[in-house]
Chains A and B, each alone.
Chain A
Amino acid sequence: MKRHLMIAAIGALCIGLFCSLPALTQAQGKKAASTAEKITVLNPMGTPPPITAKQMAQPLSTLDGKTLYLVNTGFPNTERLMEEYKKWFQANYPKTTIVDQRTGMSNLTPALKKELQEKADAVIFALGH
């Protein structure tokens, strides 16, 4: 009798487990579905301004006979860099006129701009970041 009861109990347990399996699988499926649920979100970026590419200045055919400006923009120790550039150009391009000038870090004075436009064939600006 006891053996029959035990077998019945085990059978009931198995039936119970078997019946709950689909429900368990369904719950897991719902959880998986919710984490896989797709949502739509908005782009947080602002709006960039438009840019128009400018025409580049024509390079020189030669440095000989030309005027090259070395414009120091005022970053610390740039004067030493410009001294070395000047020495090099004077040694290697003796037919090129080298002119030193100085400007502010972020602006070109109207007077210097005018001078460069009128007298410079090429300009080297240093030193920027």
Chain B
Amino acid sequence: MPVLLSEFEEQETEVAMLAGMPNVRIHYIRGPIWAKTNEQIKKQVIEGKSPVTGKPAMAEMVEMLTKPLTAEEKKTGELRRDRGPATYTGTADELQKLYLEKRYTDFMPIILPTEEKVEDMLKGTSHAPDEVVGRMNPGSDAGDTWTYTVKDCAVNAVMAGAKPEYFPLILAIASGNQTSINISDNGFASAAVVNGRIRDEIGLNYDVGAVGPYAHANVAIGRAWNLISINGGNCGKIGTTYMGTVGNAQNALATIIAENEEASPFEPFAVRRSNSRAGSGYGFGNAPGGASPKYKRGDNVVTLLSGWGVLSAANWKVNAWQSLMDYPKIIKGIYEQQNPGLFGTFIILSPPIANFVKDAGFDTVEALNKYVTQPDPAAKAAAPAAKPGGRGGFGMMGGGIDLIVTGASNNNYWMAGGLRPGQAIDIDKWR
């Protein structure tokens, strides 16, 4: 018999159903338990009442362990599940309202996906409409794994306002099986880094505002990933497949980042990772990890990332503004604070900062990483012994930084955070 927090009742009822146990007896208690003393737990839980049924908690627990099964609880066999009709008909206003009510949207008006518009979107790929593109779950065993086809992705791409020329990149992202809206109460963010000629082909922005919503392609593709996650993968539904305690503003639009390869002194991100021993991607939820295929400059690649997200490097005390800045040392300071975090250390340098790093003698990101991960003897003496492989407890990730270069050269600003790279996917495969 599981004991679960009542705050997750709706979700856990669904989880139980998905596991083939729609009538399993679950004992709910009010959370959180974390940080409570024995006395508090005794008074609030053991001597309290069930927050769901109102029954005395322990009496309910014993009843659940001993009461005979009801006729409903004895039922077995297939549980019918329905994705709904293939089409909906109505006026434009009626359909906008319907799609909002059915939670098919991101709460914003959509481009209504008529057959004609979807057919147009499908011209962006040579793949058959009924080909299965991906299998996605919300990021844990808490949700089940839905499948979606090329046509399903096209419907969602139309809704997002995407153009057919964006569709190969959208399909490449969708084929990664990674939701952009992870279920976790942590409130994770998702991002995709794009390398290759496709950046200019479809108008991705990698200048001023590169990490923000400042070009049609970046916005529409990020929105399409979200809608595919919501509809294709059944993610992002509050109470069942989304439980972020305070949420994450970076979920409003999955972040699509085109690397500014031309202004970067380093090799493109996908090329570096594919040639690095540390280039294996981390799996997340249903999204597999593993070694990256080999890529070269110019190849059209999208790398999927997940984690806490990124924010301005100005948030870190080590990056206090001075007239002369030692950026490698600052990056090392951020890494030491983050390491071995759950999602590692992800650095987004603007071209000026990247050039400062190169001018400081680090010709490659690998050279910078060697410096960054070199332990400071004084800090090492004061720190507790690290576990082998640089991993801490609780699934922590060590092993250096991941870094991309993007944005403009109008000032010395940059970003850092915790995002770990997963798969690096060939976009051209989806043309």
Contacts and interface: CB of A to CB of B under 8 A. Distances in A.
B38 interface: yes
A49 B81 CA distance: 8
Nearest to A62: B66
A56 B115 contact: no
Interface string A104-129: 00100000000000000011111111
A46 B68 contact: no
B1 A124 contact: yes
Given A45-B83, A81-B41, A60 B114 contact: no
Nearest to B82: A48
A46 B91 CA distance: 24
A54 B37 contact: no
Contacts of A4: none
B78 A41 contact: no
Contacts of B144: 48-49, 51
A76 B34 contact: yes
Contact of A126 (B2, B140, B232): B2
Interface in A32-80: 35-56, 58-63, 68, 75-78, 80
A69 to B, nearest CB: 11
A55 B46 CA distance: 30
Interface of A: 35-56, 58-63, 68, 75-78, 80-81, 83-85, 88, 92-93, 106, 122-129
Contact of B75 (A50, A53, A81): A53
B33 interface: yes
B46 A85 contact: yes
Contacts of A46: 83, 136, 146-149, 152, 231-234
A129 B4 contact: yes
Given A41-B88, A42-B118, 12 more contacts: A40-B114, A44-B159, A48-B81, A48-B144, A51-B81, A54-B20, A77-B33, A77-B36, A124-B1, A124-B2, A125-B2, A129-B185
Interface majority SS on B: helix, strand, loop or mixed? mixed
Given A59-B66, A60-B65, A63-B65, A41 B41 contact: no
Contacts of A126: 2-3
A81 B61 CA distance: 14
B37 A80 contact: yes
A41 B112 contact: yes
B33 A78 contact: yes
Contact of B91 (A36, A56, A58, A128): A36
Contacts of A52: 20, 76-79
B99 to A, nearest CB: 8
21 contacts: A35-B91, A35-B92, A41-B112, A42-B87, A42-B118, A44-B227, A45-B83, A47-B83, A47-B146, A49-B144, A49-B147, A50-B81, A52-B20, A53-B76, A55-B76, A56-B23, A56-B73, A63-B66, A81-B41, A88-B46, A122-B65
Contacts of B84: 43, 45
B113 interface: yes
B155 A44 contact: yes
A88 B38 CA distance: 12
A40 B141 contact: no
Given A46-B231, A53-B22, A80-B36, A39 B95 contact: yes
Contacts of B185: 129
B231 A45 contact: yes
B36 A128 contact: no
A46 B36 CA distance: 42
B263 interface: no
B278 interface: no
Contacts of B17: 51
A42 B155 contact: yes
Nearest to B57: A88
A86 to B, nearest CB: 11
B90 interface: yes
Contacts of B12: 128-129
**Nearest 10 interchain pairs by C-beta:** A46-B148, A126-B3, A46-B232, A46-B146, A44-B231, A54-B20, A51-B79, A45-B83, A76-B34, A44-B155
A18 B181 CA distance: 60
A26 B37 CA distance: 76
B18 interface: yes
Contacts of B74: 55-56
A128 B114 contact: no
A41 B113 contact: yes
B113 A81 contact: no
B171 to A, nearest CB: 14
Contacts of B379: none
A123 B1 contact: yes
Contacts of B149: 46
Given A47-B146, A56-B73, A81-B33, A39 B89 contact: yes
Contact of B114 (A41, A75, A80, A125): A41
A122 B1 contact: yes
B318 interface: no
